[in-house]
Structure 1
Amino acid sequence: MMIRPAELAAIRDGEVDLAFRRWDRPRVRVGTRMRTAVGVLEVTQVERVALSSLRAEDARRAGAPSLAALREGLGHRPDRSVFRVGLRYAGPDPREALREQVPGAGEIEQIRAWLDRLDAASRHGPWTRATLQIIDRSPGVRAPELAAELGRETAEWKADVRKLKEKGLTESLAIGYRLSPRGEAVLDHGGPPRERAPRPPGTPVPRSIGAPATRGLRDAGVTTLEQVAEYTLEQLRALHGVGPIAVERLAEALAERGLTLRSP
């Protein structure tokens, strides 16, 4: 279920608790939990409704500017039913805290045994250590490039990386991945710690701005929201690849952390 960044923020802040979708069948169930950019959302209601039954209160709870705007947004695909979906913020993504938890020797052995089971069950042969190593060596590199270097198909390899992410070993960046402190500890276990560049301080720019904007910011030496806040709106718009949607999402991310763009 796709939800725009502004809507995610509004759900987290308690300002929105409904969404309306045109579906041929329900795509979520009551109790479904979804990991998003703002944390975990829980589905509290899924109900088929008539478009004509929607009221101004529905529009307000869905974050629409008006009932007319809500109905207009649902005007496409009239062959599909309208579903009312209740949503609530269920807390931060537990993987974020897990990534920072450096395991002890006993837990590392358990994780490594789990990695061995993944390798044994894979029709591609062992892949877990090679994947951790290439991400460690090439943080922020696009997934297709990493998959190609390993001789893997991109979508299939990304699905494998998500398994590592569930255990807090990797984290997704706006482009590519990097190992978490937890993943570094697992990879380094039994040998000397690898030399790594220090992690840049600050809050990484959100993945929701898209790859072109991320590359444009990176080319300008900007990788964190704190660095974005040093730019004026005009300077930000002038960067290659940073379009209106990216600017909007950066502004939302800045506001969430009490930051703003620099005044002209």
Structure 2
Amino acid sequence: MLAPVMMRPAELDGVRAGTVDLAFRRWDRPRVKVGTRLRTAVGVVEVVSVEEVAPSRLRVDDARRAGAASLTALREALSARPDRPVFRVGLRYGGADPREALRAAIPDAEEIATVLAGLDRLDAASPVGPWTRTTLRIIDRNPEVRAPDLAAELGRETPDFKKDVRKLKERGLTESLAIGYRLSPRGEAVLDHEDGPRERAPRRAGTPLPRTIGAPATRALREVDVHTVEAVSGWRRADLAALHGVGPIALDRLEGAMAELGLDYRPQD
């Protein structure tokens, strides 16, 4: 879970890059413990230390290691709820989300039966009645569609719908995109076992756009038929910057995603 630390995308990028290894939070009590593994948009983040600190003892190096612009900025971020103590949380990058490998694993007949039994248990425990198959089906028919739109079509509240989709994601059946969801190969195999195979649009080859660029930038890129990190490398940074919704932060995050693949923006002519 990510909620106890609530790191911004830039901070998460820093943890993955090794430039951020601290977080400071005001809590009434420690909300994480050493050994906690947080699943985030960039992969697993591990908690390696938790200790209470006096705000007066914060230093410039603490701010740098927490990804803050300055010590003043860090102290301002901690100014809310001054009655609560400050906790210093040590972090390190723990690698890719293990659900990535699970999503790609095609189950055999025995494993599909186990997955379906688990879905039946979710349905039986739900106050709204059976929902797992209808949710898988609507995502299958509507990949990359906003969660509020999917929830509305099912007559459900968005927060409850998203909470249920996360339960499917835990089982490797769905994957979150910059906007909306899609079924994983594992999810497609499970649904095809239930409903029979269906014809689907081919999956786009390449690496999906990072979720951390935000919905406005994602929509702008989709409008110019840029759906993958590899496709971004065919554009000059200045040309993408001219698109409404694509700001400097999104451009930097796209650049980081390309760098991981050995790519970069197209050079200026």
1:192-203 mapped onto 2 (5 Å cutoff): 192-203=196-207
Q: Does 1:5 align with 2:9?
A: yes
The answer on whether the counterparts of 1:216 and 1:240 sit within 8 Å (CA) in structure 2 is yes
- For residues 18 and 59 of structure 1, what CA distance do their matches in structure 2 show? 9
How far 1:248 sits from its partner (Å)? 2.5
Which of 183-192 and 111-120 deviates more?
183-192
- How high is the sequence identity, in percent, across the aligned residues? 70
The answer on whether the counterparts of 1:6 and 1:252 sit within 8 Å (CA) in structure 2 is no
121, 128, 132: which one aligns with 1:128: 132
Letter in 1 for 2:57: S
Q: Specify the SS of the correspondent of 1:223.
A: coil
Q: Specify the SS of the correspondent of 1:152.
A: coil
Query: Could you say what the CA RMSD is over the residues aligned between the two structures, in angstroms?
Result: 2.0
Q: Give a deviation string over 1:151-173, Cα, whole Å, max 9, x none.
A: 11111011111110000000011
Letter in 1 for 2:233: A
What TM-score results when the alignment is normalised by the length of structure 1?
A: 0.92
How far 1:76 sits from its partner (Å)? 5.2
158, 165, 171: which one aligns with 2:175: 171
What TM-score results when the alignment is normalised by the length of structure 2?
A: 0.90
Q: Does 1:111 align with 2:101?
A: no
In structure 1, stretches of 5+ residues that fail to align are none
Letter in 2 for 1:30: V
243, 247, 253: which one aligns with 2:251: 247
Structure 1 pair 244–79 and aligned structure 2 pair: CA distance change class (3 A): farther
Structure 1 pair 67–122 and aligned structure 2 pair: CA distance change class (3 A): closer
Which of 121-130 and 187-196 deviates more?
187-196
- For residues 10 and 131 of structure 1, what CA distance do their matches in structure 2 show? 34
What corresponds to 1:51 in structure 2? 55
Which of 30-39 and 161-170 deviates more?
30-39
Q: Specify the SS of the correspondent of 1:90.
A: strand
Which of 27-36 and 163-172 deviates more?
27-36
Which of 71-80 and 82-91 deviates more?
71-80
The answer on whether the counterparts of 1:141 and 1:177 sit within 8 Å (CA) in structure 2 is yes
How far 1:60 sits from its partner (Å)? 4.2
Which of 203-212 and 65-74 deviates more?
65-74
- For residues 135 and 239 of structure 2, what CA distance do their matches in structure 1 show? 38
In structure 2, stretches of 5+ residues that fail to align are none
Paired residues, number? 264
What corresponds to 1:38 in structure 2? 42
23, 26, 29: which one aligns with 1:22: 26
What corresponds to 1:226 in structure 2? 230
- For residues 252 and 52 of structure 1, what CA distance do their matches in structure 2 show? 35
Q: Give a deviation string over 1:29-72, Cα, whole Å, max 9, x none.
A: 22221101221111122211112212344344334465555445
Q: Specify the SS of the correspondent of 1:26.
A: coil
Letter in 2 for 1:245: I
Q: Specify the SS of the correspondent of 1:189.
A: helix
